[in-house]
Amino acid sequence: MSDLIQAVLNSDERTNLRQFASQLRASEKRYLLRNEILAAFSDYCSHYEQSEQFQTSSRLGKLIYHVQEIILDGNSLCLIIRPRIASQEAYRLLEDLTVEPMSISDLLDLRDRFVNRYHPQDGDVFEIDFQPFYDYSPAIRDPKNIGKGVEYLNRYLSSKLFQDQNKWLDSAFNFLRLHHHNGHQLLINERIQTQQALSQQIKTALQWLSDRPDDAPYEQFRFDLQTLGFEPGWGNTALRVRETLGLLDQLIDSPDHQVLESFAARIPMIFQIALISPHGWFGQEGVLGRPDTGGQIVYILDQVKSLEKQLQEDIELAGLDVLNIHPKVIVLTRLIPNSDGTTCNQRLEKIYGTEDAWILRVPFREFNPKLTQDWISRFEIWPYLETFAIDAETALRAEFSGKPDLIIGNYSDGNLVAFLLARKLKVTQCNVAHALEKSKYLFSNLYWQDLDDKYHFSLQFTADLIAMNAANFIISSTYQEIVGTPESVGQYESYKCFTMPELYHVTSGIELFSPKFNVVPPGVNETVYFPYTRTDDRLLGDRDRLEDLLFTLDDPAQVIGKLDDPSKRPVFSMARLDRIKNLTGLAECFGKSKALQEHCNLILIAGKLRTEDSTDHEEISEIEKLYQIIDEYDLHGKVRWLGVRLAKGDSGEIYRIIADHQGVFVQPALFEAFGLTILEAMISGLPTFATRFGGPLEIIQDKFNGFYINPTHTEEMAATILEFVSKCDQTPQYWSDISNRGIERVYSTYTWKIHTNRLLSLAKIYGFWNYTSKEDREDMLRYTEALFYLLYKPRAQALLTEHMQR
């Protein structure tokens, strides 16, 4: 039994537990989540005049703190307890305080009963369990180390080398011998036939190199090394070659995880990368703010530029310029024939600022021209992904003149396509979820049947299970994206155990302690987003044009609202108009606070202005709601709502103009997996207020370089902003202090150089791990394939049939 429950039952607080349980049974609520449980316990403490210390520090208070859900089943209470991060237990509490542990299957059956979807007479529901397939993999023990998978994996691999040196060194030798590019053998040639010979030749080469000047270029001694069995790839100078060979020599003689990581980072094994992002409008201009199109476009394009630059640097350092090797990066997305003035109908588009990086667009097959000629919502895209992957394989092979060395999936749809491609091409697969819809939509799995005609969660969650388990490694922007906080469940953690009533039960959907998880936060494009104080880098013409747009331009086609007093401090936000981004919540917060209105104006850049211009049901709903809020709180003269699509350079200057006016940036999302706009605002110098639900908790240090807000409590959110504004009015230096600390935070932690160095290092280590354990992974991959063909594909075909009838 849980120690938390046992502690209560062994104390005089048993009576309090019985009273609290009785109070819950008497309420109308039958399914309570954590915030509701805490509120109910607070009500109980008030009713029975319990002290604040009892509420927070008693044995019962500690138990209640860790209870994530309570389901009332007849007269018994089912308690789902999360005693620690990434751990869950379920118990049934009877009226006499008897406690019975519940199995996962029992818990999932109970949830099915709650929504009247439990039919034992029809037999058991299909059960998905990935746990047996993680036996091949080492497991992290301490939850604090989740998200540091590569560090753990390096220690594990080096210990294996030490325990069974011959086997693992043979694997390492064979792995090195594999490497070639464009017909050129790399690293070692046929003169070295065994790992014993490799070890001896390394020592011979090191002795020979000891007399060479450190800066001697590789070309001068290339053929001398070749006769010893070493091909290009070890370094571009004598010093670099000595260092790399020295790391391998050290690894052979005395394995060490840090040496392994340093050596693996130098192996030239990645030259061509494919990034997969099918949904939305993927382009370089005129797309931001369209449905399904926002931060992921910025993220991927910035990532591509940094990846190409880093790959080129790595190639030069490895001495491979003697072979005229150059990197190539391709973003694979969907071609949209009716492109609405964008470049999304172009098959191939060069990415600005790169030498050989491209957007490759592959069309969906013509199943139904009425649909496939146009943009398709990310919720409706599923029937087209399998054939898209088939066609994309041919296109990628043609563009790469071969196959990529690494495939990076983005979002649920991109990760599924990445799985299909990586499986076929036999290359390393990396997943980036950015955001998982399951966490964003409350009870989306439990009520999937009611939501499926609109959101098709049955397809999306199945795709997520397949892709996240098949991936060689997963990068997240934050730790809590994986396993949440002590108070909240992480996005990936929510896939550990859940039910899709009448479809399947997931008893173990993901191994959270697997070393495949790594936290690698993104960076900011420093050429576009930089501090407002760098006036020499700002273009005067852009500043004047955008200043007019933000504060004074009278153009009903682009702007709603004229400010009575443009000199007031601007409260600024910029996001898509959808429910999760919650710009309407910020408008309501502003509308409810007369004090905030006295000090500030509200300026929003938020997609379209009129419902007739949108085809996205969520955006239409939010547009209507924003108009209603402006009217209800009489915000005319106090709000500017800009329905514009900004060029990337303009968005950077917009932040800086708001900073010129000593404004603030507010990110009010109900949930935010990471929050690139937060980094953009902070590096521009804007004091930033961001949701406490999700990734911003790891970016911002509250009240030091930014502020947390609770977007579900509008009065509290207004009070937090108002407190800052009032303090700035009293002490003008306070605005600059927060501004400067925000800038420092981004430069120290969130740059693309840091990101891509880490990403490529991970890809090399996991490539090695994938090679050495591929036989052990095959059973997992077969299982994911079975789920694809038996669960995903029939539902995708049913949705396609529905599309054909439209």
**Among residues of the chain, what percentage have pLDDT more than 70?**
100
pLDDT score, position 335:
98
Mean pLDDT score of the chain = 93
**What are residue 398's phi and psi, to 5 degrees?**
-65, -45
- Identify the CA nearest to 267 among candidates 247, 289, 286: 247
Record the tokens describing residue 759, joined without a space. Answer: 């990403």
Query: pLDDT tens-digit profile of 148-170?
Result: 998 888 888 778 777 877 777 88
Q: What is the mean pLDDT of residues 232-245?
A: 97
Within 10 A of 127 (CB to CB), how many other CB atoms are there? 13
Strands 89-93 and 99-101: antiparallel
Where are the domains positioned within the chain?
3-102, 145-177+188-230+234-266, 272-515+778-804, 535-750
Cα 344 to its chain centre, rounded Å, is 24
Q: SS3 letters for 272-308? A: EEEEECCCCCCCCCCCCCCCCCCHHHHHHHHHHHHHH
**457 touches 451 (CB < 8 A):** yes
**Among residues of the chain, what percentage have pLDDT more than 90?**
76
pLDDT score, position 158:
79
775 pLDDT band, cuts 50/70/90, is: low
Record the tokens describing residue 224, joined without a space. Answer: 């001398």
Query: pLDDT tens-digit profile of 436-493?
Result: 889 888 899 999 999 999 999 999 999 999 999 999 999 999 898 999 888 889 999 9
Strand partners, 127: 505
Q: Which H/E stretch holds residue 41?
A: helix 34-47
How far is the C-alpha of 464 from the C-alpha of 472, rounded, in Å?
Answer: 14
Which CATH code is given to the segment(s) 272-515+778-804?
A: 3.40.50.2000
- Identify the CA nearest to 603 among candidates 639, 563, 560, 552: 639
Strand partners, 188: 230
CATH architecture of 535-750: 3-Layer(aba) Sandwich (3.40)
pLDDT score, position 439:
83
Per-residue burial over 367-386, b if 16 or more Cβ lie within 10 Å, else e, is ebeebbbebbbbbbbbbbbb
Q: What is the mean pLDDT of residues 508-519?
A: 95
- Asked if residue 620 has pLDDT above 70, the reply is yes
Q: What is the mean pLDDT of residues 722-732?
A: 94
Q: What is the mean pLDDT of residues 370-376?
A: 93
Query: pLDDT tens-digit profile of 100-125?
Result: 999 999 999 999 999 998 888 777 89
Query: pLDDT tens-digit profile of 483-493?
Result: 988 888 999 99
Q: Which H/E stretch holds residue 408?
A: strand 406-410
Record the tokens describing residue 651, joined without a space. Answer: 């968005």
CATH architecture of 145-177+188-230+234-266: Up-down Bundle (1.20)
pLDDT score, position 1:
60
Q: Which H/E stretch holds residue 68?
A: strand 67-73
At 773 the three-state DSSP class reads coil
Query: pLDDT tens-digit profile of 682-693?
Result: 999 999 999 988
Q: What is the mean pLDDT of residues 129-142?
A: 89
pLDDT score, position 757:
92
Fold entry, domain 3-102: Nuclear Transport Factor 2; Chain: A, (3.10.450)
How far is the C-alpha of 742 from the C-alpha of 762, rounded, in Å?
Answer: 28
Query: pLDDT tens-digit profile of 529-567?
Result: 999 999 888 887 788 899 999 999 998 889 999 999 999
497 pLDDT band, cuts 50/70/90, is: very high
- Asked if residue 673 has pLDDT above 80, the reply is no
Among 39-43, 393-397, 436-440, 756-760, whose mean pLDDT is lowest? 436-440
How far is the C-alpha of 318 from the C-alpha of 191, rounded, in Å?
Answer: 21
Record the tokens describing residue 530, joined without a space. Answer: 């930089």
Answer whether 272-515+778-804 and 535-750 agree in fold: yes
- Asked if residue 210 has pLDDT above 70, the reply is yes
- Asked if residue 731 has pLDDT above 70, the reply is yes
